[in-house]
Chain A
Amino acid sequence: MAVATHGGEQWFRTCDVTGFKVDVRAERIAKVNAVMAVVSFLIAVIAALLLVLTRWQIIHLLPVDWYYRVLTLHGLDALVFWIIFFELAALVFGSTAFLNTRMSSPFVGWTGTALAILGFLMVNYMILTGNADVLMTSYAPLKAHPLFYLGMILFAVGALLIVSTFFANLMIWRRENPGQSLPLFVYGLMAAAIIAVITIVSGAIIYIPTFLWSLGIIKDIDPAVYKLVWWGLGHPSQQINVSAHVAVWYLLAFLTVGGQSINEKISRFAFILYIVAINVASAHHLLVDPAVSPVWKVWNTSYVMYLAVFASMIHAFAVPSAIEVAQRKRGYTKGLFEWLKRAPWGNPAFSGLMLSMIIFGFIGGITGVVNGMEQTNIIAHNTLSVPGHFKGAVVGGTALAFMSVTYYLIPLLFRKKIAFYGVAKYVPWIFGIGVAILAVSMYILGAFGIPRRHWDITFSGGPFTFTYNPVTDFFWALFGIGGLLAVVGALIWIVQVVVSVFFGQPFRGPQDLQIPIAEPVQMDEEHKGFAAPGTFVLVLLFIVAFIIFVALNYGWLSAMWEVR
């Protein structure tokens, strides 16, 4: 590991595996953010276990006040802190090491990291001390302690500072490399960073007046305005994930089989569609709100949002086709699927990548479109189907992609060997299958009318009761089994990461690399006929599943109100 100096200060080392010139100042910032991501994930997973054991009515573990407290904790640590800390690490590392350039301002990077950690600590402390039982959305007029809102603001400002260093790093790179295009992985991160700016600015627009309101300086917060602006933070924060995890998919296809997009222009165009069209999808959270018109709802959830859905479908073809073409170049050309059968399934990063794509597409993606349409949304709105969709999109899609790429980050970023590497190949399967069962069972329970965010659906002791279809008992059992499997998978991964990073053996060079890095495959300039026929068949299968699910939902909708 060589270390280069600049002005007497040691700035760069050359990675002995990738050959990248790594700015060690950026590397340290990325490491701290990555560690914070894992800490947040651990809190989120423990909270998830408690929630599964509470909503599963036969156990019903937590009392009512702790249920809503832990639900708030889970929502913010899973959907905000774990994901955004990980993305901040990726932005810093990706915009320096992958571009062979320097960190523009380590001072701003460290200031942002410190503010984000302080915000994280304040928010978690306020929730656990019972001062912020307001759920993740904290809809006004629900009011939390001022320090909860201040913590969110500090986290947002910290994240924005780090995002600003990302753009400054790109500017340095552009000055040093005029006329060049960003590598596709960094291009995806750039899309995520742009969406992050929109997200964080929306957060500031709503959390600053809400903070002042909690202090008594502002008299009222309009609940309709709060909800509109808050969802400019709430949903786009998940679109940062989509962009970032799709970028990670391209990276994993490259690292695991040497695959590259067969048409980078189209992949880049799909990222641009995310930038311009994905954020307005926040509108689907307001589909039953009376204050905004049907025109606003339909424009933002249909005409514009479908451009982003189209973008996801481009990526859903581009990533597997990159894998297929690379495998075919290696000689796996028999039939439609030899390339898939002979893929490196023993590599946890590869199996994690494939499971992440399947769960995100077939569960998160399809249910997301159904939930996002004004017509079909009404039968899923505020039911357990909504968090069922999250589980498919964010947990099965984003979290699993991030977990998978971490198997490369442990040796390449943290310079440690992976502890218990023999177990790693099982982790994506345990976690992925658990999440898939959990997500599907939640979606079906929602279809039976089970509400989300509800402590006791039996209304025991209440003035009235309600009995659900007995078939829901079966899906509650599946929910419990899926949830527990996913928690076990996540905990094994966390133990592996913590032991590797803090107590692991040092990584001394390529001879210590446990997880393989594939040789890149030379892609053809032009393709004749079907370059990836197997992927084409898989995409057709996906489209058939998509059409069937949408048709079923319209069928269920028509059964609710008679149409003459």
Chain B
Amino acid sequence: MSEEKKAPFLQLVFDDFILLLFLGVAIYAVSYLIWGLIEIAWTPPIPDEIKEALLGR
């Protein structure tokens, strides 16, 4: 009785393009996009006196 040889785990990962799609999107989204957006959101607004000085009002 012959058993079908199972592909090695790494080959299964390499061949799973849906998993790779998920990894590609997730790493980019967390490392670049969401983290970057959080940092921009936490940036305090420019103080009014500096803003007015820059705009020459």
Contacts and interface: CB of A to CB of B under 8 A. Distances in A.
A277 B28 CA distance: 8
Interface residues of A, number: 40
Contact of B21 (A179, A197, A286): A197
Interface string A393-427: 00000000000000000000000000000000000
Contacts of A269: 14
B37 A275 contact: no
B27 to A, nearest CB: 5
A229 B33 contact: yes
How would you classify the secondary structure of chain A's contact residues: helix, strand, loop or mixed? Answer: helix
Contact of B35 (A190, A236, A275, A296): A296
A225 B40 contact: yes
Contacts of A292: 36, 39-40
Interface string A264-288: 0100110010011101101100100
A194 B21 contact: yes
A169 B37 CA distance: 35
A201 B40 CA distance: 20
Contacts, number: 81
Given A228-B33, A232-B32, A293 B21 contact: no
Given A195-B24, A225-B37, A292-B39, A181 B32 contact: no
Contact of B24 (A228, A279, A299): A279
B36 A228 contact: yes
Question: Does more than half of chain B's interface fall in helix, strand or loop, or is it mixed?
Answer: helix
Nearest to A290: B43
B13 to A, nearest CB: 8
A378 interface: no
A279 B32 contact: yes
Nearest to B38: A296
Interface residues of B, number: 22
A317 interface: no
B9 interface: no
Contacts of A170: 17
B24 A275 contact: yes
A179 B23 CA distance: 21
Contacts of A232: 28, 32-33
Given A182-B15, A279-B28, A194 B20 contact: yes
B2 interface: no
A272 B32 contact: no
Most chain-A Cβ atoms within 10 A of its Cβ — which of B11, B17, B25?
B17
A296 B27 contact: no
Interface of A: 167, 170, 179, 181-182, 190-191, 194-195, 197-198, 201-202, 222, 224-225, 228-229, 232, 236, 265, 268-269, 272, 275-277, 279-280, 282-283, 286, 290-293, 296, 299-300, 304
Given A181-B11, A228-B40, A280-B28, 11 more contacts: A170-B17, A191-B20, A197-B24, A198-B28, A272-B20, A275-B20, A276-B27, A279-B28, A286-B36, A290-B43, A300-B32
8 contacts: A225-B37, A228-B36, A232-B33, A269-B14, A276-B24, A279-B28, A291-B40, A304-B31
